[in-house]
Structure formats: C-alpha cells, structure tokens
Amino acid sequence: MKTPVTEMLGIEFPILAFSHCRDVVAAVSKAGGLGVLGAVGHSDKDLEIDLKWIEDEIGDHPYGVDLIVPARYAGDGEGGLKIEDIAAMIPDEHRKFLEELLERYEVPEESPEESKSSNSWSERSTDAPFSANRAARQIEIALAHRPSLMANALGPPPKEMIDKCHDAGVKVAALAGARTHAERHVNAGVDMIIAQGYEAGGHTGEIGSMVLIPEIVDAAGSVPVVGAGGIGRGRQMAAAMALGAAGVWCGSVWLTTEEAETHPVVKEKMLAAGSGDTLRSRSLTGKPARMLKSAWTEEWAREDTPDPLGMPLQPILTDGSQARINRTAHHSGSGSEKLATYFVGQIVGSMNRARPAGQVVIDMIEEFIESCEYLAEQLET
C-alpha cells in the first residue's frame, strides 16, 4: 500500500498498533505495520530493556513510542512535583472509600514482599505520573534508541519535544478528539495527527469516529491523519480511509492477541464481552477513559461515593489497590475477579478469539481489500 503514512514511516501497511507489550509491538512491525510501545507505565530501566529488545527483535523494521504529557494536571502549577507531594494532596475521604471497597470485596492485603514487587508508580519513578518531568526522561531514553515515531497521547506535544525529535530525525504524532485539538497540533508542528473517536479505549473524547475523522482531516490540511476509535477490522480501516485518513491507529484489538500481556482474567472478560460492555470512567486515571464495565466502575459511579480525583491524584490513589486486585483476580468468583478491569474500546465486541498479532494485521488487510473491491463493484453497476 502507498499512503502518506506508509511513505513517512517506511512501512508496508498503514496500521499503527499501540500496545504496552513489546511482543505485540515487534510482531506488528515485522508484519508490515508500525508497532508503537506505550511507555507511560515503564520505569526508566524497563523502558531501556524493552526498546533494546524490540530493536534486536525487529532488525531494520521501524517502530514507535507513545508518551503521555497532558497540557494540564493537578499540581502542575507548583513545578516538578514528586509522588510524595501528590500523595499528600489526596483527601482522607477517598482513601477511606477505597479501603472500605477492598474490604467489602474481600481483596487480600499484600505482603511486604508483594508490595515491593508490585511495580507501583513509586517503584517506577519518584516523579509524578503523566508529568512533564517524567515524560522528559522517557523522551531522552527513547531518543537514545531509534524509534521512527514519537506520539503524545494527551494535548499538543511541547515545543521541546518536537524540536528534540526532529533533530533526531524522529516524526511526531499527537492524538486529537476534536477539531480544535487538531488545529493546535498543526500549529505546534506535528507530523501526524491521530483522530481518536469516542469508541476508543483509554482516554477519549465525546465525538464518534464517523464524524470526527473528516473534521480532523479538514482541519489538518497537509498533515496526514490516521483514524482511531472502533477500528480493529479491515472494513473499519476502509471506512476510516474513505473518510480521508491515510491509515489507522489501533489499540484495543491487540489486548486479546496471543502475545498480549493482558491479565488473564481481564482477557477472558474481553473475549466474552459485547460492544456495549464498556464505558467512559475517570476511576483509574482521573480523566475520562473507556474501559470494561466491572464492579470497580460501578462502585466509583455510585451517587453516595466520592467523585474520582483529577490526574495524577487518581492513579496515585488507586495504583496499590489495582495491584492487589490483579494479584488475586484469578480466584474464580472472588471480589478481585469482579473488580478487575482494564482500558478497552467498543471494538471489544469483535475481539472474540485470540490470534497472533501478525495474523490480526494480515486479516485486517485482507478484509480491507475485500471492502475496497466491494465499493469498486458499486461504481461499475
């Protein structure tokens, strides 16, 4: 295939695969797409390890890295806050609610040894999650390797980020959930815009992909746009490109692949879920993010419970609790199993069998071709 995105990135298929799992990233890049490693949950050491592993695994194939640098977050006006600074801002009301929630669902407490190995935010870095300080270090680590693309998942990439990436020959992308976001990205100087619709997993806005993609394409001018949100099959890829996109950005569809490191209980929930089994909730990150419905999302949505805190207070509050839940969720019928959840989009209704990530790429392209041939037949008749 030949689109502005394939030419820009040197890939065969304009399929960009966001995943926190290095195995998925490598598999997609080797299959002709562009695997993009979600780095926000990585410690500095783990990011170094994974980027080296990916490069050793894929050889000359390109890949990307995705970061989160929000334009605004709680406490950012006070400078480079540390995790202990953020933790001190968390109201006792929220701590008490979470403690009572875990007790009511009989989630076992972690031992000191388990707590140390839980890979919590405090174990990964002393900087606040989703902060400029944290992202700056990750950019430095990534640029010491050879990614072809650096994406910012929240807000316009800072000028410093764009300048550093361009100096290193790395393209910069940014997610947009509204036309105004795209206009800001263009003014900032990005090389690519990811138009992510309401259907997407994780942080997402309120406009559906069918409406959003052409609006972003019109606003982007000569900057290539890739469509995201509700895309995991070839027909959806064809629809996005018919709306003006030069490729697609997929995240959820890789969560049930054979390579994915998704928690086994959550993966089984996803394989059994329908497209209506997700919702947007602030209960994990403090910003609206689409995830699986579960007892966790139901409890945070109750009228008699405190509202989720802003970013990054909410992830600091819930991080240890999520580790406790995930550690024991494999017990069938347990409270932990009921609470277990993760980010996923409405495409989850089509994610009903586990496949190798490379096969997902091939299946998407084959269905994309069939869809284009079907449309061509309509023009002939």
CB 323 within 8 A of CB 120: yes
Task: Provide the pLDDT for residue 79.
Answer: 47
The closest of 237, 236, 295, 271 to 344, measured between CA atoms, is 271
What count of other Cβ atoms lies within 10 Å of the Cβ of residue 211? 12
The closest of 203, 269, 197 to 228, measured between CA atoms, is 197
Task: Provide the pLDDT for residue 68.
Answer: 81
pLDDT in tens, the chain (381 residues): 999 999 999 999 999 999 999 999 999 999 999 999 999 889 999 999 999 999 999 999 999 999 986 554 445 555 456 778 888 899 999 999 999 999 999 999 977 666 655 555 555 555 666 566 678 889 999 999 999 999 998 788 989 899 999 999 999 999 999 999 999 999 999 999 999 999 999 999 999 999 999 999 999 999 999 999 999 999 999 999 999 999 999 999 999 999 999 999 999 999 999 999 999 999 999 999 999 999 999 999 999 999 999 988 999 999 999 999 999 999 999 999 999 999 999 999 999 999 999 999 999 999 999 999 999 999 886
| Cα–Cα distance measured from residue 28 to residue 58, given in angstroms and rounded to the nearest whole number | 10
Task: Provide the pLDDT for residue 71.
Answer: 52
Task: Provide the pLDDT for residue 154.
Answer: 78
DSSP secondary structure letter of residue 198: T
**Which of left, alpha, beta for 332 (phi over 0: left; psi -120 to 50: alpha)?**
beta
**Considering just the CA atoms, what is the radius of gyration of the chain in Å?**
20
Cα 125 from chain centre = 20
Q: What is the 3-state secondary structure (H, E, C) of 87-138?
A: HHCCCHHHHHHHHHHHHHCCCCCCCHHHHHCCCCHHHHCCECCCCHHHHHHH
Task: Provide the pLDDT for residue 174.
Answer: 97
The closest of 60, 64, 33, 61 to 50, measured between CA atoms, is 64
What residue spans define the domains of the chain? 4-74+127-257, 83-126+262-339
Q: Which is it for the CA torsion 216, 193, 244, 362, positive or negative?
A: negative
What count of other Cβ atoms lies within 10 Å of the Cβ of residue 92? 7
Q: Reduced to 3 states, what is the DSSP secondary structure of residue 58?
A: helix
Q: Which is it for the CA torsion 36, 41, 43, 46, positive or negative?
A: negative
CA angle 337, 342, 345 (to 5 degrees): 130
| Cα–Cα distance measured from residue 123 to residue 117, given in angstroms and rounded to the nearest whole number | 8
CB 193 within 8 A of CB 225: yes
Task: Provide the pLDDT for residue 132.
Answer: 65
CB 22 within 8 A of CB 15: no
What count of other Cβ atoms lies within 10 Å of the Cβ of residue 18? 28
Give residues with Cβ within 8 angstroms of 63, minimum separation 6: 25, 26, 29, 34, 35, 36, 37, 54, 55, 147, 148, 149
Q: Which CATH architecture has domain 4-74+127-257?
A: Alpha-Beta Barrel (3.20)
